Amino acid sequence: MQSDRIGSDLSALGWNPHFATAFETLAEPGTVPARIARADLGRYLILCAAGERFAELSGRFRHHAAGPADLPVVGDWVVLRPQVDGPGQIVGLLPRAAAFARKTVGETTEEQLLAANIDTVFLVTGLDANFNLRRIERYLTATWESGGNPVVVLNKADLATDLESQLAETRAIAMGVPVVAISALDADHLDALAPWLTPGATVVLLGSSGVGKSTLTNALLGAARQEIGATREVDAKGRHTTTSRELVVLPSGALLIDTPGMRELQLWGEESSLDQVFPEILALVSGCRFHDCAHESEPGCAVRAALEEGRLEPERVQAWRKLQRELTRLELRRDVRARINEKAKWKQIAQAKKTHPKAQRWR
């Protein structure tokens, strides 16, 4: 139980006036605010002023949820109706302050929320064979889109073959985002993360499987709570030690969300989220002759000119193009889906009018 550390003070769980205002408009008599600590197939572990409880969605809530984005995820604040016996009933969801999302794995064009109401995102990378600048750029893009603040955490510093140059390379692409190198196995290193682990602050750990997110969680907790994976080849497929996202209360007073490692992070967001990751390219784009320049073979392209003159890193331009293509594709697919939904809606209305010719009168 985490309840002993929470007490009755909701601010220890990240509650703030923004949520309080939202709660006032949604609350019904007999309900209380609660925060989702874990979501498992319709069963929720929640934290509230009274401590840790299990909860489930009320029938009415389930009925009104239009899609996956309406369902609570770890970090969400909900309106809870406690029950004398049995799990509490979740009857409402408070608007999210920030949320980390990705496109669902596979071909469907759907958003998957990984964590809500986060202040900071620790992007964890291993300084072993896992180290990959392009992946860090991808995670940074998703983080700017989330509304949380990124911190690049380079873990396994003890295994680094060239720590200084790896740090320098990361700082060069991080564009002012803090970069810290630590070893989760070394308790003395944890202080480097203290600036973000303040009371009531919510931090989510994201990164590939095996980079040490759960090791870090346990180290910060000072307890062996999360299961740790065995050491193995970094590119070994199919083994994810952590299987569900979980919010824990740290002794520092911060709320930390450990997550299962991701094999791929497909972006979900707008092209504009790239602006903060590739500012040096953005600064050039306005100098292109054509405002819709694709920076491929158009005459007067400022990006190509800078590349040719060696003022831009080719890897950065390639990475930018790749992420941009992904986001453009996503936008197109979202448009198509929106049109299909729109069509279906009109078809439904037309159908309703046919069966109920006076349907217009209802509105």
Ligand X SMILES: Nc1nc2c(ncn2[C@@H]2O[C@H](COP(=O)(O)OP(=O)(O)OP(=O)(O)O)[C@@H](O)[C@H]2O)c(=O)[nH]1
- CB contact set of 254 (below 8 Å; sequence gap of 6+): 196, 197, 198, 199, 200, 201, 202, 203
Q: How many residues bind ligand X (CB under 6 A)?
A: 23
Footprint of Zn ion on 221-240 (CB under 5 A): none
Q: Which of residues 120 and 214 has its CB atom nearest to ligand X in the complex? A: 214
Q: Which of residues 218 and 324 has its CB atom nearest to Zn ion in the complex? A: 324
Among 13-21, 178-186, 296-304, 344-352, the segment contacting ligand X (CB under 6 A): 178-186
Question: Residue 350: what residue type?
Answer: A
Q: Which of residues 63 and 291 has its CB atom nearest to Zn ion in the complex? A: 291
230 binds, among Zn ion, ligand X, Mg ion, none (CB under 5 to 8 A by kind): ligand X
Q: Which of 93, 288, 317, 319 is in the footprint of Zn ion by CB under 5 A?
A: 288
Asked if 301 interacts with Zn ion (CB under 5 A), we say yes
Instruction: Report the DSSP beta bridge partners of residue 35.
Output: 47, 77
Q: Which of 212, 295, 312, 317 is in the footprint of Zn ion by CB under 5 A?
A: 295
Q: How far is the CB of 297 from Zn ion (least distance, A)?
A: 10
Footprint of Mg ion on 135-194 (CB under 5 A): none
Q: Which of 125, 183, 273, 324 is in the footprint of ligand X by CB under 6 A?
A: 183
Q: Which of residues 64 and 311 has its CB atom nearest to Zn ion in the complex? A: 311
Q: Which of 20, 49, 159, 163 is in the footprint of ligand X by CB under 6 A?
A: 159
Among 71-79, 122-130, 199-207, 297-305, the segment contacting Zn ion (CB under 5 A): 297-305
Q: Which of residues 181 and 206 has its CB atom nearest to Mg ion in the complex? A: 206
Q: Which of 155, 183, 218, 242 is in the footprint of Mg ion by CB under 5 A?
A: 242
Footprint of ligand X on 207-226 (CB under 6 A): 209-215
293 binds, among Zn ion, ligand X, Mg ion, none (CB under 5 to 8 A by kind): Zn ion
Asked if 242 interacts with ligand X (CB under 6 A), we say yes
Show the CA angle centred on residue 14, arms to residues 138 and 60, nearest 5°: 90
> Which residue number places its CB atom closest to ligand X?
261
Footprint of Mg ion on 201-230 (CB under 5 A): 213-214
Residues within the interface to Mg ion (CB under 5 A): 213-214, 241-242
Residues within the interface to ligand X (CB under 6 A): 155-156, 158-159, 183-185, 209-215, 228-231, 240-242, 260-261
